[in-house]
């Protein structure tokens, strides 16, 4: 079990320094990210399996202003992390984002979205792999889950490539965009990682 001091240091480091992968920085959102974030979320292909549609700049601002990164890791809260390219001289090119829901002290739900022009380049695999390292090793979490539309084959493939278990198939459990849809729940325990 991670000590309280070690845990608070790991949370502090994420908020202040982010996580670095081979090609990307995972860090809290900045106001400068919001225009690109809203643009790819507004893309119908990106929004197809998501709960939102017609995403706007004001939606991005509302989401951003509703996150208090000083509470990062607190049970019950959702946070977005920017996936920013480290190629080139500056760390400003937003290529996607990760969502984290700290369900309770030991369980986290994750999500991921990649801007259309960067899909198919293994960005989500690299980013989620680093996130899992952080959650299981640095934060000593017990369980990480992800929920996806059963028709979102790219997300299913990614989660299975990362060795998540398909733990549940919820049949017609969610009504959005005018129809009932099915979802898969994927999970991974720390001892399976």
The torsion of the CA quartet 128, 134, 135, 140, rounded to 10 degrees, works out to: 150
Considering the entire predicted model, what is its pTM?
Answer: 0.92
pLDDT of res. 94? 95
DSSP letter for 90, please: -
Cα–Cα distance measured from residue 146 to residue 175, given in angstroms and rounded to the nearest whole number: 18
- Where in the chain are the domains? 4-141
Domain 4-141 belongs in CATH node 3.40.630.30: yes
Closest CA to 37 of 116, 94, 79, 118: 94
pLDDT value of residue 51: 84
Q: Are 26 and 19 in contact (CB under 8 A)?
A: yes
Predicted pLDDT at 24: 94
Alpha-carbon gap, residue 162 to 15, rounded angstroms: 25
Which of 164, 153, 157, 118 shows the shortest CA–CA distance to 24? Answer: 118
pLDDT given at position 4: 57
Pairwise CA distance, residues 190 & 114, whole Å: 25
Q: Mean pLDDT per segment of 10 residues, for the chain of length 193 residues?
A: 63 88 94 96 93 91 95 95 82 90 98 96 97 97 98 97 98 92 97 96
Cβ 103 vs Cβ 137: under 8 Å: no
pLDDT score recorded for residue 192? 96
CA gap 135, 143 in Å, rounded: 9
């Amino acid at each position: 079990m991670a000590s309280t001091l070690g845990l608070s240091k790991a949370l502090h480091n994420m908020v202040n320094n982010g996580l670095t992968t081979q090609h990307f920085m995972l860090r809290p959102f900045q106001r400068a990210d919001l225009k690109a974030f809203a643009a790819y979320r507004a893309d119908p292909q990106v929004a197809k399996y998501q709960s939102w549609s017609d995403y706007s700049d004001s939606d991005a601002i509302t989401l951003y202003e509703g996150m208090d990164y000083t509470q990062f890791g607190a049970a019950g809260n959702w946070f977005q992390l920017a996936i920013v390219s480290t190629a080139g001289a500056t760390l400003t090119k937003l290529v996607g984002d990760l969502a984290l829901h700290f369900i309770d002290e030991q369980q986290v739900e994750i999500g991921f979205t990649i801007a259309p022009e960067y899909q198919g380049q293994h960005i989500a695999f690299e980013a989620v792999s680093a996130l899992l390292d952080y959650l299981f090793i640095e934060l000593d979490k017990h369980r990480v889950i992800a929920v996806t539309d059963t028709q979102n084959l790219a997300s299913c493939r990614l989660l299975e490539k990362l060795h998540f278990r398909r733990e549940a198939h919820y049949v017609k459990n969610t009504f959005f965009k005018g129809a009932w849809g099915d979802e898969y729940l994927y999970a991974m325990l720390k001892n399976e990682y």
